[in-house]
Structure formats: structure tokens, C-alpha cells
């Protein structure tokens, strides 16, 4: 099972779920009300999000509250870090041109 964070956030419904529970932990039923699908479909998304540890469960009787696991979200941020220097540099465009020219000479 290839459950990585990037594959998890690829689905728009899952991104919406993450946003919702970021504001407030919710049960599958409560979440399902926000979408045009069945509760089972939402449940499946939650399973995927749980498997890659983007969300955690808080059991409360027969209800299960899903909450965002912020730590895992940082993983995406960490990946972005590799590119961040590129857009923080105002010479970004120029760099690319120079690299292309250099490559041409070979």
C-alpha cells in the first residue's frame, strides 16, 4: 500500500476533510453532511488519511472524532523547502536561463 501524504492530498474531498477538521475535530457522520457522497465514502477517505497519519482518532463512546495531525502536514512543507529558495530568489528566472545555456554547450 503506497500511502504517502502526497497521494492522500491529491483528492479534493480529502483536502476538504483536512480543512474541516483543522478547524474542529469531527465525526464521520458530521463530515459526511458537508459532502455530496455517502458516509461510507467519507469513511474510506478517513481510512486513507489515517493510514498515512494525517489524521488521528479520538474515541468517545461510539463516536470517533477525527482530528488533524499537524506534524504530518509539515512533511509537505518540508518537501516544498527544496524549492522555496528558488522563489525567494529574485534571480530565479535568470538562473534558469543561465543553466539552460550551460547545458547547451555540452
Partner DNA sequence: AATATAAGCAACTAATTGGTTGCACAAAAG
Partner DNA sequence: CTTTTGTGCAACCAATTAGTTGCTTATATT
Closest separation between CB of residue 33 and a second copy, Å?
A: 13
What would the DSSP string read from start to end of 64-85? EEEEE-HHHHHHHHHHHHHHHH
Strand extents, DSSP E, 8-85 = 55-60, 63-68
Which residue, 15 or 74, has its beta carbon nearer to DNA? 15
Of 15, 20, 28, residue with least CA distance to 59:
28
Q: Which does 51 bind (CB under 5 to 8 A by kind): a second copy, DNA, none?
A: none
Beta pairing partners, 64: 59
Which residues are at the interface with a second copy (CB under 8 A)? 4, 6-7, 9-10, 12, 15, 18-19, 22-26, 58, 60, 65, 67-68, 70-71, 73-74, 76-77, 79-80, 82-84, 86-87, 92, 96, 99-100, 102-104
Which residues are at the interface with DNA (CB under 7 A)? 2, 7, 10-11, 13, 27-30, 37-41, 43-48, 57, 60-64
Given a contact cutoff of 8 angstroms between Cβ atoms, the answer to whether 46 and 17 are in contact is yes
Amino acid at each position: 500500500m503506497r500511502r504517502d501524504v502526497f497521494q492522500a492530498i491529491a483528492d479534493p474531498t480529502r483536502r476538504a476533510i483536512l480543512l474541516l477538521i483543522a478547524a474542529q475535530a469531527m465525526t464521520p457522520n458530521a463530515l459526511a453532511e458537508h459532502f455530496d457522497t455517502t458516509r461510507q465514502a467519507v469513511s474510506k477517505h478517513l481510512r486513507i488519511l489515517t493510514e498515512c497519519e494525517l489524521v488521528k482518532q479520538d474515541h468517545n463512546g461510539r463516536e470517533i472524532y477525527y482530528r488533524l495531525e499537524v506534524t504530518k502536514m509539515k512533511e509537505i512543507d518540508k518537501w516544498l523547502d527544496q524549492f522555496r529558495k528558488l522563489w525567494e530568489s529574485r534571480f530565479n528566472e535568470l538562473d534558469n536561463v543561465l543553466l539552460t545555456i550551460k547545458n547547451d554547450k555540452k
